[in-house]
Amino acid sequence: MKRIAVLGSTGSIGTQCLDVAARLSDRIQVVALAAHHDHERLWQQAQQFGVRHVALVDESASALLRERQPDWHVYSGDEGLQAVATLPEVDMVVVGVAGVCGLAATVAALRAGKGIALASKEVLVAAGESVMSLAKEQGIPVVPIDSEHSAVFQCLQGERPDAVRRILLTASGGALRDVPLEELPFVTPERALQHPTWRMGAKITIDSATLMNKGLEIIEAHWLFGVPAEQIEVILHPQSIVHALVEMCDGSVLAQMGLPDMRLPIQYALLYPERVDTALPRLNLTQAGALTFAAPDPRRYPALQVARDALAIGGTMPAAMNAANEIAVARFLKGEIRFTDIVRCVQDVMEKHRPQPATLEAVQAVDSWAREQAHLWKSP
């Protein structure tokens, strides 16, 4: 029986993780849950799984839950995430919480010797070098939940790192891949949220439309697999069946395929290195139709180069980029800026930033600074 804490349990990844945990009730026990502010849904989840250790980042929400359930252990703030992530009874922490608060909780969990199933992009984007160094020191594998990184992780099992020539991350192209370039400035949030293949949260759906999600994934893959950025490429694959490919030095290309269902990589991370059948939907290649691939147009997806530039500069620059992007996406969803302003805002914040070594304290400070700058940004 593996005992898990789920950080971000009320979000898209968290709810799907709990679905998988319910299917694996003979192997997985949920012992702690954490969310940002949705105390009602967190209460329902805790009741379902018999959890008595919970955390809410929002102080007022945690106070309400504490009043409702005085017999529970209710933690609050960013420190609350770290508290549930380091509980003695926890074996593995699922990091699905958005924002840089997931970084501190991941570091705390690693220091406490906990296994990590990682879905939060911010952790490796903001501080990949230090997080992976700590994991190596502790002898703890960081198992990715992102479908693309899970695919690469699976392809590399049993392979020597020096045998890898290229990693190819696939991208659907998002909801706007066929919209004429001249119409992109006038796209509404409702249109940009109509992802053709995946069911995801609003923020990652917009990142999929700008392809910033793939830019972040390039940075993640660099730290996860120790592969230079120039050996990590992005290719468009609208069907979302092939989740990643790895080209080996002898010319062989390994691919991981499956339906666009996040429960499969979540299950793989929770049970790694085991595989079991939990009756998840299966891929039928005879019904999948043609699988196509294409190079992304840099005019449509300038975010890819922005992310490469941030990784090349290093230090706290990726953290600044990530924080600015979060605010820019939120402002677009509220109708404050145009779709094409998202990347412009990120670029302008990056130009103002003076990077420094990416310590936890520096990353947290830069995250706050970049968010403020993105809030103040005005479209030219």
| Confidence (pLDDT) at 99 | 73
Q: Which residues, given as ranges, of the chain have pLDDT below 50?
A: none
pLDDT of residue 188: 96
With a CB cutoff of 8 Å and minimum separation 6, the contacts of 147 are: 243, 244, 260, 262, 264, 265
Given CATH 3.40.50.720, say whether it is the number of domain 2-140: yes
Domain coordinates in residue numbering, the chain: 2-140, 150-260+288-376
Percent of the chain scoring above 70 in pLDDT: 99
d(CA 147, CA 241): 10
- The string of pLDDT tens digits covering residues 309-337 is 999 999 999 999 999 999 999 999 999 99
- Could you identify the residue written with the tokens 């502790």? 138
* pLDDT at position 182: 97
- Tell me what pLDDT residue 101 has: 82
What pTM, to 2 d.p., does this model score? 0.94
Q: Please compute Rg for the chain using Cα positions.
A: 20
Asked if the domains 2-140 and 150-260+288-376 are classified in one and the same CATH topology, the answer is no
Pairing label, strands 164-171, 242-248: antiparallel
The pLDDT, as a whole number, for residue 196 is: 77
- What pLDDT does residue 200 have? 75
Q: What percentage of the chain reaches a pLDDT higher than 90? A: 94
Any idea which fold 150-260+288-376 has? Rna Polymerase Sigma Factor; Chain: A (1.10.1740)
pLDDT in tens, 137-165: 999 999 999 999 999 999 999 999 999 99
